[in-house]
Chain A
């Protein structure tokens, strides 16, 4: 942290975040006196039994990733019959799939060499056939279902509810961070909201540098939180709270980003986002969940090239991220979960692409996973209207992460967050 920062401010940034959002409705001058009495090494976020150092990174593949061309069922003749041009040939052939599990005949897209390395290191779990009952083939509706964990796609986001549930009503302002233009629904709880940004450099007010000594009045206005007399839940109250959150996060995040990462990253969009996440983890931010996303997976036409590029971006970016975590010594504390709102139809279409489908594989990556292929690949012959029938409910994946990674199994946090119990899976090492 830069030495020029005034003392009270430094306390504020290091430990005061939780406190500040709890007092979001208290006028500014009172907040400052409250901060002044904070002991220098106070840790205000501890809750007994909650492992505070465990971090979840969510990678969203927007548009509906073609699961069948990501994890290849190369032993299936049906696969090649349905995809005479698009099918990825078996391992060993030219441009063939990368062998993953010979016994069941499963391979990876040839461009997922990064995933193959992670698999060999024991850090990649593949969960097959993930979906949900009565699949919705609309991007938005299905994405909302994945984000909320509810069958209708309504209500708060599942990560937001997790933060709500584990914070006694007063979430840390930076408990969850998303990188991107808009905050994902998954992170919107009834109390908690994510910090989100796209470019750390622009994550501050430029008027401070103007000659008219505006920094202090600006801070007074934007750190005041929701003012007295403003109706809670109104647009004004929402804006005032966001203004405060923005100030609190700004210096903290920019300080983290200023450091050069320990390893090289590719220059793709996903890698750039993960590089930022790596920097924040390295800077020991208290953030529990990070969210990154790329899109372009809606491959209705001319799929082979564009999907191939996306596979390369996915595998290489996550490999670089894992290498970074390892160099930091944090690889045991982070798992990364990769999902998309649906897979695609079994049959290729007339435009050299695939249309909206249903179940698809998910990936969970990290030193804490049980590497291997989990679950059962959906039948290629017993189809539902030309689509795969899911074999694992995605909420079982969430529940496993919530109970075995983000908290303790005995707490049954997942039932609270997801509204009911879902069977636990075995992709995490307990």
Chain B
């Protein structure tokens, strides 16, 4: 049972033994290093053994994947004015040509609308990718980086730049963290989001420098002072972008000497990143975040007992010069990761809940726009994190309001019934439930009294208590027949409405 007898928590980073590898542990891995899956997928991981399963998920480069082309989306909606257009605009302003100015304004409004529309398309594209991908860990890490280097469309209003940033996260998903930091300092979306494009020699904007230390690399208050922020901001002057590409604007760069974390030199943005990455606090900060994302996001986690796990991960990260894969491999093979105190010990993020419900139950994905507005209501809109700190995760996902949205999202996925629709077509509740039925039969051996338990075991990340099992069993009995088709659909609505369903 999750959370029970904390003193017994196994904090060993040694790999788990083959004898501990079973459907429960394999499913735990698939939930955390991906978005869950069907019983058949879990069985396939069981057959690979622990090392094989971890490698299968982590070394995804060899698995086929849907190609993403640079022309996937229109890059020209936000194209800056060309020289000729700029001249025309200047002239119109000078001569106060209201007609011409109105034309420019009209064009801009049109582009605003087009870009907002495209932003929704990018959102749908990514959600669909998470639902369909054969490389779940690639998308899971991309989601992690999006929350870590949080950048919001509402501020930058450039859907193509958000798409480019998303591609950057995917490219470096399990690559090298230090390199990713260098790349994010060249990412147009980030440079715009944190005002680097407006930072000037002599008048540096501190936003990017502050968040680089506070939220991206060192952690709030770790190792730096307000003065380091001011000096870091000077180092970053000139880091801007033009159209879709990074540009170093030498004329706006402050080339004078700066002192950052005690090191003095004529530093630029790369030096700034290098200096802060050389601090031990950087690896520790990142590993704490990875821990909360992948292992346990209970309050105060990691705690005094599990701190050592983060330290072991951080030490490995330093030893491997910020290469991520060895660290994640160490984590996903460790005894600690599979300790009972960590099973079902995270709360599904809204995106996790949505994608996992589809991948695990085999329900139709329904309408992607509806799913995106549901994740938004639950507190997680892709490409629109609430602020530069990203999503807090854990219990902050849950309040009385998001609780209902979560339950209603499951009803929508399972039955096709929209929360506010009056014209529900019952046929939408008919979908191919054979895979689930097979999984139930495999657990019951034909004993109908075990069906309700079997379904709870398949769908919930923790063992339901005796009382919960009894409550569910009574209901399943009222359905009057084996858990198939419509009866299974009804039972799923109820299981997914259990508070325990929110655990992962």
Question: Which of A48-56, A74-82, A213-221, A259-267 contacts its partner?
Answer: A213-221
Number of residues of chain B lying within 8 A (CB) of chain A:
69
Q: When the two chains form their complex, are residues B408 and A205 in contact, meaning their CB atoms are under 8 A apart? A: yes
Which B residues lie within 8 Å of A235 (CB)? 2-3, 298, 344-347, 395, 503
Which one of B49-57, B243-251, B331-339, B461-469 is at the interface?
B461-469
B465 touches A198 (CB 8 A): no
Contacts of A338 in B (CB 8 A): none
Query: How far is A356 from B490 in the complex, measured between Cα atoms in Å?
Result: 53
Contact among A198, A206, A230, A243 for B408, CB-based, below 8 A: A206
Q: Which residues of B contact A218 (CB under 8 A)?
A: 494, 497
Question: In chain A, what residue has the closest Cβ to B417?
Answer: A206
Q: Which residue of B lies closest to A27 (CB)?
A: B467
A203 to B377, CA, bound (A): 12
Which segment of A244-252, A277-285, A363-371, A407-415 sits at the interface?
A: A244-252
CB distance from A84 to the nearest CB of B (A): 14
Contact of B28 with A by CB under 8 A:
no
Which residues, 217 to 252 on A, are CB-close (under 8 Å) to B?
217-218, 220-222, 224, 227-231, 233-240, 242-243, 245-246, 249-250
- The reply to whether the CB of B292 lies closer than 8 angstroms to some CB of chain A is no
Is A246 in contact with B403, judged by CB distance below 8 angstroms? yes
The CA-CA distance from A235 to B2 in the complex, in Å, is 8
Does the CB pair B400–A229 fall under 8 Å? no
B360 on interface, CB distance cutoff 8 Å = no
Per-residue CB contact flags for chain B residues 461-504 toward chain A (1 = under 8 Å, else 0) read 01001111001101100110000001000100110011110110
Determine whether the beta carbon of A351 is less than 8 Å from that of B403.
no
The interface bits of chain A over 173-200 (1 if a CB of B lies within 8 angstroms of the residue's CB, else 0) are 0000000011100000000011111110
B465 and A231: CB pair below 8 A?
no
Contact B493 A210 (CB under 8 A): yes
B404 engages A138 (CB within 8 Å): no
Give A300's nearest chain B residue, CB to CB: B195
Q: Are B468 and A227 in contact (CB under 8 A)?
A: yes
Interface string of B102-134 (1 = CB under 8 A from A): 000000000000000000000000000000000
A233 x B377 contact (CB < 8 A): no
Query: Within the complex, which residue of B205, B346, B475, B500 is in contact with A214, where a contact is CB–CB below 8 Å?
Result: B475
Chain B residue with Cβ nearest A240: B499
Stretch from B206-214, B260-268, B441-449 forming part of the interface with A: B206-214
- Are B404 and A202 neighbours in the complex by a CB distance under 8 Å? yes
A374 at the interface (CB under 8 A from B): no
Task: Tell me whether A228 and B465 are in contact (CB under 8 A).
Answer: yes
Query: Is B198 at the interface (CB under 8 A from chain A)?
Result: yes
How many angstroms from the CA of A221 to the CA of B198 in the assembled complex?
54
Residues of chain A within 8 A (CB-CB) of B438 are none
CA A213 to CA B478, docked complex, whole Å: 9
Residues of chain B with a CB closer than 8 A to A349's CB: 203, 205
Task: Give the Cβ gap from B222 to chain A, nearest Cβ, in Å.
Answer: 12
B408 touches A183 (CB 8 A): no
Inside 8 A of B345's CB, which chain A residues have their CB? Answer: 235
B415 at the interface (CB under 8 A from A): yes
Instruction: Give Cα A212–Cα B347 distance, bound, in whole angstroms.
Output: 28
Closest to A248 in B: B400
On whether A181 and B402 interact (CB within 8 A), knowing A141-B220, A235-B2, A236-B462, the answer reads yes
* A140-B387 contact in complex given A206-B411, A212-B493, C-beta closer than 8 Å: yes
Query: Given that A138-B214, A202-B419, A214-B494 are contacting pairs, would A239 and B411 also be in contact in the complex, using a CB cutoff of 8 Å?
Result: no
Q: Counting chain A CB atoms within 10 Å of each CB, which of B403, B408, B417, B486 scores highest?
A: B403
Q: Which of B395, B399, B408 interacts with A194 by CB under 8 Å?
A: B399
CA distance A210 to B121 in the complex (A): 32
Query: Which parts of B396-435 form the interface with A (CB within 8 Å)?
Result: 396, 398-405, 407-408, 411-412, 415, 417, 419-420, 426
Interface residues of B in 361-411 (CB under 8 A from A): 377, 379, 386-389, 392, 395-396, 398-405, 407-408, 411
Q: How many residue pairs at the A-B interface have CB separations less than 8 Å?
A: 185
User: Are B298 and A221 in touch, CB under 8 angstroms?
Assistant: no
A85 at the binding interface (Cβ < 8 Å): no
* B339 CB to nearest chain A CB (Å): 14
The answer, yes or no, to whether A403 is at the interface (CB within 8 Å) is no
User: Complex Cα distance A218/B403, Å?
Assistant: 14
User: Does residue B61 face the partner (Cβ distance < 8 Å to A)?
Assistant: no
Min CB–CB distance B452 → chain A (angstroms): 11
Chain A CB within 8 A of B84 CB? no
Measured CB to CB, the nearest residue on chain A to B392 is A182
> Please, which residues of chain A bring their CB within 8 A of the CB of B3?
231, 233-237
Taken together as a complex, chains A and B put the C-alpha atoms of A216 and B2 apart, in Å, by: 28
Q: Please tell me if the beta carbons of B420 and A201 are within 8 angstroms of each other in the complex.
A: yes
| A229 partner residues in chain B, CB cutoff 8 A | 1, 465-466
- Annotate A266-309 by CB proximity to B: 1 below 8 A, 0 otherwise: 00000000000000000000000000000000001100000000
CB distance B226 to A137 under 8 Å?
yes
Q: Which residues from chain A contact B226 at a C-beta distance below 8 Å? A: 137
Q: Which residues in chain B, 39-77, are within 8 Å of chain A measured between CB atoms?
A: none
Q: Contact: B497 with A245, CB < 8 Å?
A: no
List, in ascending order, chain B residues with CB within 8 A of A350's CB: 198, 200, 203
- Find chain A residues with CB under 8 A from B388 CB: 139
Contacts of A133 in B (CB 8 A): none
Chain B min CB distance to A186 (Å): 13
Q: Does A169 contact B (CB under 8 A)?
A: no
Q: Which of B221, B379, B389, B493 contacts A182 (CB 8 A)?
A: B379
Q: Are A205 and B401 in contact (CB under 8 A)?
A: no
With contacts A183-B399, A205-B407, A250-B404 known, is A351 near B377, CB below 8 A?
Answer: no
Contacts of A182 in B (CB 8 A): 379, 386, 392, 396, 399
Contact B2 A221 (CB under 8 A): no
Q: Given known contacts A202-B408, A243-B499, is B474 in contact with A238 (CB within 8 Å)?
A: no
For the complex formed, measure the closest distance between the CB of B411 and the CB atoms of chain A, giving whole angstroms: 5
Q: Would you give the 0/1 interface string for A27-66, flagging 1 where the beta carbon is closer than 8 Å to chain B?
A: 1000000000000000000000000000000000000000
B52 to chain A, nearest CB (A): 30
Residues of B at under 8 Å CB distance from A?
1-4, 195, 198, 200, 203, 205-207, 210, 214, 220-221, 226, 298-299, 344-347, 377, 379, 386-389, 392, 395-396, 398-405, 407-408, 411-412, 415, 417, 419-420, 426, 462, 465-468, 471-472, 474-475, 478-479, 486, 490, 493-494, 497-500, 502-503
Which 3 residue pairs spanning A and B have beta carbons closest together? A234-B3, A197-B401, A239-B499
29 pairs of residues in contact across A and B, judged by CB atoms under 8 Å: A138-B214, A139-B387, A139-B388, A181-B379, A182-B379, A194-B399, A196-B401, A197-B401, A197-B404, A198-B401, A199-B401, A207-B493, A207-B494, A207-B497, A212-B490, A217-B474, A218-B497, A221-B494, A224-B467, A234-B3, A234-B298, A239-B500, A240-B499, A242-B398, A242-B499, A243-B499, A300-B195, A300-B198, A351-B205
